[in-house]
Amino acid sequence: MLIDDFISDKPVIIYDLHEAKTFVVRYLKEFDDIVLVKRQLEIADYLVETEKGTMAVERKRAGDFLTSIKDGRLFEQIENLTEYEDARILVEGAIFTSTKNGRCYAVDSLGRALNPNASTRSQPRTMWSTQYFVHPHALISIFEKIQDMGIKVIFTGSAYDTADTLHFWATRGEKREYLSIRQKKKVFTDFDRQLFLISGLTGISTKRAESLLKEFGTPMRVFNAFLEYSPKKFPVEGIGEKTVNQIRRVLTKNLLEIEPKKMIEHEFRERVEELRKIVSHMEEDLKRKKVPVLKEILRKRGLRVSGRKSELIERLLSDMSLEERIDIPLFIKKYEKMLEAKTDFQKIPEDLEKMYKEFKKRK
């Protein structure tokens, strides 16, 4: 939403309608050297005139900051903030972590003095914290991503401190005659969008995202690389086994537990490998058995028991019927399920296709 410029001989701070009844606005009204304007803002909670231009400020209490991570609001908000060249997040209170518990704790503000009747002002204060099921490592990664996006994060102690900080930003330096609240559209290139897409993965900073693009070329190839390469031998420096496994889990876990209509390439390859395992199951099972056990099976079938282990296995397989060697109903079921979900460009190997046709005739 575009709003006309505000003309004033004093610095202007515009606040969103949702902030109207907060203590921050109440404290801001006590300053007589700024002009406060209430408007519905599409982005940010406050727009502040500074000597360098318009600053967009998102205000959050410490607890709300952690909650917005869990429900996903924070990521949309910080992406919107990048519409402004100068974007900041003010966090009221404190956040501290407990790696052993895998949680974060928030203190939104200091409580009352423990002994309010005492004459000294230096009184210990009660301090209550609330726990949030946000892992400390996730919090660190989020702060890194916010920084990579050029957004500053500032912590304040209370609503009064937030108001004082906003007032400080508005009044320092030379005063301007107007405040333009039309956000400057930042020009994003396709490369910027690719970096943003990849850096959303666990443990991937913007710098690592750039390294991945230089190695694989496109985001799609980057995602496929995490599925195709062994976690122990991933070709990009700085990305270890733990990170690869975490990303694999994020890319492949079906959290909604729905049956996808079409398979991606990684799933198609897994299905093909699954069919091959059904075909080779008996052979692999015999390979795991010891020679005396194999000879005992051969005796029961009236077959010769001399020779090397590979010869014994080959002799057994040759004597078995097709139904003994392969679970044909399971093969057909898996094959037809894959046939139904595969895309037009995914081609089933000819040997498996030939087996399926032969098994259908037997059925």
Predicted local distance difference test score (pLDDT) of residue 1: 33
Q: How many CB atoms lie within 10 A of CB 91?
A: 22
Given a cut of 60, whether residue 305 has pLDDT beyond it is yes
Given a cut of 90, whether residue 330 has pLDDT beyond it is yes
Predicted local distance difference test score (pLDDT) of residue 108: 73
Given a cut of 50, whether residue 3 has pLDDT beyond it is no
Given a cut of 50, whether residue 250 has pLDDT beyond it is yes
93-109: average pLDDT: 85
* pLDDT tens digits, one per residue of 215-241: 999 999 999 899 989 999 999 988 889
Predicted local distance difference test score (pLDDT) of residue 208: 86
Q: Which residue ranges form the domains of the chain, and what is each CATH number?
A: 6-179 (3.40.50.10130), 190-252 (1.10.150.20), 265-362 (no CATH)
- Rounded percentage of the chain residues whose pLDDT exceeds 90: 42
Q: Please tell me which residue, 184 or 330, carries the higher pLDDT value.
A: 330
CA distance 351 to 173: 76
Predicted local distance difference test score (pLDDT) of residue 122: 60
Predicted local distance difference test score (pLDDT) of residue 121: 58
Given a cut of 60, whether residue 82 has pLDDT beyond it is yes
CA distance 74 to 133: 16
DSSP string covering 313-361? HHHHHHHS-HHHHS-HHHHHHHHHHHHHH--TT----HHHHHHHHHHHH
**What's the pLDDT band for 153 if we cut at 50, 70, 90?**
very high
Predicted local distance difference test score (pLDDT) of residue 254: 82
